[in-house]
């Protein structure tokens, strides 16, 4: 009869998985197990199905998961695809879509005030969403190495931006604060603001935009760490739905030393707090 030693602290039936032996099923069979219920505490039971294809493999040592590597892999896989010019509808098709939406609202698109509105909206959208035609990597391309040995934090704060919620196509208005720890070279300060602007001029969620800015600067500059904080008001909460004006949302993303060392995070947050006092 084959047995396996499990490294989890769960129990299956009457057999403990942590430090004891669990009777293993034959190849191709499966076993249901549930997590333990500790004395004096309620626990929500969850069934876990273990599929055994090779009994001998149960004795192989378990490898620790490198979460940073997993997150980095997910970041690359989940990068958003931007349609090429050839894949996009024409200007005339975009204007026709605006006209259709106006009719759906109940408007007479032939009246004087709306005759040129489809054309105006298409033109405005080209400006508001210009970030789809800009490469943040190019904006961050130039670096300066003559920094006199400076290796402390560089912080650009209160970068105003206007973006649009990808769920309702209504504005997100806020400020971005971006810092990095140089490692032999620095960026032109305007390049950081330009990076924020490029990502803001795309349909966004605030969480995604925060991560995009941090990882793009981290990849382009290879500093010792990047910190990004965004504070914004979402019109999808103020104009519709719950209609709560004045509420703001704060998101942060840290890489490198900012992620690993709480002292660097504290320095970043203290500098932002000082500017508000």
User: For this structure, is 164 an active site residue?
Assistant: no
Helices (H), the chain: 67-77, 91-105, 117-128, 136-139, 189-200, 206-221, 235-238, 256-260, 262-276
Helix (H) or strand (E) run with residue 175 in it? strand 171-181
Contact 195, 212 (CB under 8 A): no
Give the HSE-up count for residue 184: Cα atoms under 13 Å, Cβ half-sphere: 2
User: For this structure, is 166 an active site residue?
Assistant: yes
The separation between the first and the last C-alpha atoms of the chain, rounded to the nearest angstrom, is 71
Q: CA of 89: how far to CAs of 86, 95, 132, 133, in Å?
A: 8, 10, 14, 15
Helix (H/G/I), strand (E/B), else coil: 113: helix
User: For this structure, is 177 an active site residue?
Assistant: no
pLDDT at 40: 44
Protein fold of 130-276: GTP Cyclohydrolase I, domain 2 (3.30.1130)
pLDDT 10s per residue in the chain (277 long)?
443 433 333 433 444 344 433 444 454 444 444 444 444 444 443 434 434 444 444 444 444 445 455 455 545 545 789 999 999 999 999 999 999 999 999 999 999 999 999 999 999 999 999 999 999 999 998 899 999 999 999 999 999 999 999 999 999 999 999 999 999 999 999 999 999 999 999 999 999 999 999 999 999 999 999 999 999 999 999 999 999 999 999 999 999 999 999 999 999 999 999 877 6
Which residue among the candidates 93, 167, 207, 222 is catalytic per the annotation?
167
Question: What's the rounded Cα separation, in Å, for the pair 90 and 21?
Answer: 66
Residue where the block lists tokens 């970068």 = 159
Contact 236, 171 (CB under 8 A): no
Structure tokens at 43: 């626990």
Contact 29, 52 (CB under 8 A): yes
Question: What's the rounded Cα separation, in Å, for the pair 160 and 151?
Answer: 26
Question: What's the rounded Cα separation, in Å, for the pair 236 and 253?
Answer: 23
Which residue among the candidates 165, 185, 261, 265 is catalytic per the annotation?
165
Which residue among the candidates 10, 134, 168, 261 is catalytic per the annotation?
168
Structure tokens at 205: 């969620």
User: For this structure, is 234 an active site residue?
Assistant: yes
User: For this structure, is 167 an active site residue?
Assistant: yes
Question: What's the rounded Cα separation, in Å, for the pair 208 and 202?
Answer: 11
pLDDT at 169: 97
pTM of the model as a whole: 0.72
Which residue among the candidates 206, 212, 215, 253 is catalytic per the annotation?
206
User: Looking at the chain, which residues constitute the CATH 3.30.1130.10 domain(s)?
Assistant: 130-276
Which residue among the candidates 166, 185, 233, 265 is catalytic per the annotation?
166
Which residue among the candidates 236, 259, 261, 265 is catalytic per the annotation?
236
């Amino acid at each position: 009869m084959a047995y396996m030693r499990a490294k989890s602290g769960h129990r299956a039936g009457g057999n403990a998985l942590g430090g004891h032996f669990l009777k293993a099923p034959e190849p191709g069979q499966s076993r249901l197990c549930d997590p333990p219920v500790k004395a004096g505490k309620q626990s929500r039971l969850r069934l876990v199905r273990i599929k055994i294809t090779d009994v001998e493999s149960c004795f192989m040592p378990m490898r620790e998961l490198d979460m940073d590597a997993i997150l980095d892999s997910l970041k690359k896989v989940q990068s958003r695809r931007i349609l090429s010019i050839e894949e996009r509808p024409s200007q005339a098709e975009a204007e026709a879509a605006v006209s259709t939406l106006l009719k759906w609202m109940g408007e007479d698109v032939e009246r004087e005030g709306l005759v040129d509105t489809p054309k105006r909206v298409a033109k405005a959208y080209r400006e508001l969403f210009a970030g789809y035609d800009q490469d943040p990597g190019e904006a961050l391309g130039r670096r300066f190495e003559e920094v006199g040995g400076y290796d402390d934090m560089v912080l650009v704060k209160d970068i105003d931006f206007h973006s649009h919620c990808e769920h309702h196509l209504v504005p997100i208005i806020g400020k971005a604060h971006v810092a990095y720890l140089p490692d032999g070279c620095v960026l032109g300060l305007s390049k950081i603001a330009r990076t924020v602007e490029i990502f803001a001029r795309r349909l966004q969620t605030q969480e995604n935009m925060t991560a995009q800015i941090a990882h793009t600067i981290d990849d382009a500059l290879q500093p010792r760490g990047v910190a990004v904080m965004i504070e914004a008001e979402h019109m999808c909460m103020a104009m519709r739905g719950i209609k709560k004006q004045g509420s703001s949302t704060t998101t942060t993303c840290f890489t490198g030393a900012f992620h690993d060392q709480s002292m660097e995070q504290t320095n970043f947050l203290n500098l932002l707090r000082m500017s508000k006092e």
